[in-house]
Amino acid sequence: MSLGDQFDNIIVNTDNYKHCHYSLYPPGTEYISSYIESRGGQFPVTMFVGLQAFIRDYLMRPVTVEDVDEAEYLMREQGMHFNRDNWMNLINDHGGYLPVEIEAIPEGTVVPTNNVLVQLINTDPKYYWVTSFFETALLRAVWYPTTIGTLSWLCKQVIRTALERTSDNPGALRHMLHDYGARGVSSQQSAALGGMAHLVNFSQSDTTPGILAAKRWYNAVAPSNSGPNSEHAGFTAWGRAFEVDAIRNMLETYRDYGFALVLTDTYDHEHCVKKILGGELKELIRNFPGMVGARPDSGDVVQVTSDTIEWLMDAFGYEVNSKGFKILPPFIRVVQGDGVTGESLREIFIEMERRGLAADNAVFGMGGGLLQHVNRDTNNFAQKANAVCVNGEWRDIAKQPTGASFKRSKAGRLALILEDGEYKTVPRDSVSPEQNLLKPVFRNGKLLKKWDFSEVIAASEAPVPQEWYGDYIAPMLTEPAPAPVGAAVN
């Protein structure tokens, strides 16, 4: 459903209780600094992305009197305290724009967890409460796309590792993981932000909102490729006895596109691959002007991927690459989009290598496992206050709970530096502004830095030490499988 303009009101895009917090600070409070970090979790790193989308969509829109009226009615209806003067004064003093400065690391940057990603502070001492007021919206805008981008980036390292070990085609990397997550995600906005984050790492997607998001908020040019793909409704409509005709119709209809993905599990996957693709339609596929993808959509994802590759090799032959692994002819591949996760992707490649199959025999898609199976605690994101100025005196502040040591926050204004190849979060006043990788991106309603999607991609592809993600790919780092016996088979 469309949420409508009401949901763009930053005064209600928060937790209700935020409206009573301004009065809880010490008398004389002038400035509040806070920061965002991943406190560590399932992933060892974060690929930072998504802040610019939030800034452009929400913070560059001024608060209006109508917004204040709407929020006041809503809060008082629920029995929550509401200070109308705070917001009316903000409109009169700052034209409705939040008097806050946000600084962040470059979008697309990959850093180990437990490092500062974003830091913000109010710019007018009269509005010290602003920094924490929109925490709910800001943190959500950072944790979700960053978590999806990080998951996608780690999958990219899995695929990169597999290609390096068994393939002669490293250039296939950005084309090997497709986003099928639009229907498995919780909302269109989630599809937009998560789908956009995935496109930083890969150029393949069927999630249209993600493509639009990359273009709208980051000036992306042609960020994605796709092509004719099938669904079971179209194939079952022909009836089981005419499955071969359904597939033939697709191949003939879309031959000029140079690409066609054919579902093979509508009834009996093995029969379809061996008897239809590798039998009745063998010559049609061999002469297809492009690539045909055989798409198993059920079964044991690890075994069925390698099984399907081998059945296709029985029908269409294979070559042996320079690393000694078998590779299908370029007109046929397996497309595996069912049950793919970061963990199962590793297992698929391990099994392919064990059988002597090159990694580029298959391309992959992820759905809910990419865009939906995460939450804020996947990598324990938090925004916490780290410094306060009261009556002209700055104090370093931090949360230090005894019941959960990982929730201890960082005290004092922060900087992020890169020293000897290692990112470090350090006190802001311990380094020069030039050393600090946190740079102002927003101040008082103005966008100070606009990231182009190409810049975000370039930052994400900067080399990083393998040790940062070594545990994630460790199961793959065994001795390479023995080279297959024999040369090319046609």
Cα 385 from chain centre: 26
What gap in Å lies between CA 30 and CA 25, rounded to an integer?
A: 10
The answer to whether the annotation marks 240 as part of a ligand binding site is: no
Q: Which pairing describes strands 319-320 and 204-205: parallel, antiparallel, or unpaired?
A: unpaired
Q: What is the dihedral of CA 239, 244, 248, 249, to 10 degrees?
A: -10
> Please, are residues 349 and 96 in contact by the beta-carbon 8 Å criterion?
no
The answer to whether the annotation marks 194 as part of a ligand binding site is: no
**56 C-beta neighbours (distance < 10 Å), count:** 16
Output the six-digit token pair for 360.
């580029």
What gap in Å lies between CA 293 and CA 285, rounded to an integer?
A: 10
What gap in Å lies between CA 306 and CA 354, rounded to an integer?
A: 10
The answer to whether the annotation marks 337 as part of a ligand binding site is: yes
204 forms beta bridges with: 178, 225
Residues 6+ apart with CB under 8 A from 199: 179, 205, 210, 211, 214, 220, 223, 224, 453
The answer to whether the annotation marks 206 as part of a ligand binding site is: yes
The answer to whether the annotation marks 338 as part of a ligand binding site is: yes
User: What 3 state SS string does the chain have?
Assistant: CCCCHHHHCCCCCCCHHHHHCHHHCCCCEEEEEEEEEECCCCCCEEECCCHHHHHHHHHCCCCCHHHHHHHHHHHHHCCCCCCHHHHHHHHHHHCCCCCEEEEECCCCCEEECCCEEEEEEECCHHHCCHHHHCHHHHHHHHHHHHHHHHHHHHHHHHHHHHHHHHCCCHHHHHHCEEECCHHHCCCHHHHHHHHHHHHCCCCEECCHHHHHHHHHHHCCCCCCECCCECCHHHHHCCCHHHHHHHHHHHHHHCHHHCEEEEECCCCCHHHHHHHHHHHHCHHHHHCCCCEEEEECCCCCHHHHHHHHHHHHHHHHCEEECCCCCEECCCCEEEEECCCCCHHHHHHHHHHHHHCCECHHHEEEEECHHHHCCCCHHHCCEEEEEEEEEECCEEEECCCCCCCCHHHCCCCCCEEEEEECCEEEEEEHHHCCCCCCCCEEEEECCEECCCCCHHHHHHHHCCCCCHHHCHHHHHHHCCCCCCCCCCCCEC
The answer to whether the annotation marks 428 as part of a ligand binding site is: no
The answer to whether the annotation marks 314 as part of a ligand binding site is: no
The answer to whether the annotation marks 69 as part of a ligand binding site is: no
Binding residues for beta-nicotinamide D-ribonucleotide: 206, 295-297, 337-338, 368, 376
Binding residues: 183, 206, 232, 295-297, 337-338, 368, 376
Binding residues for diphosphate: 183, 232, 295
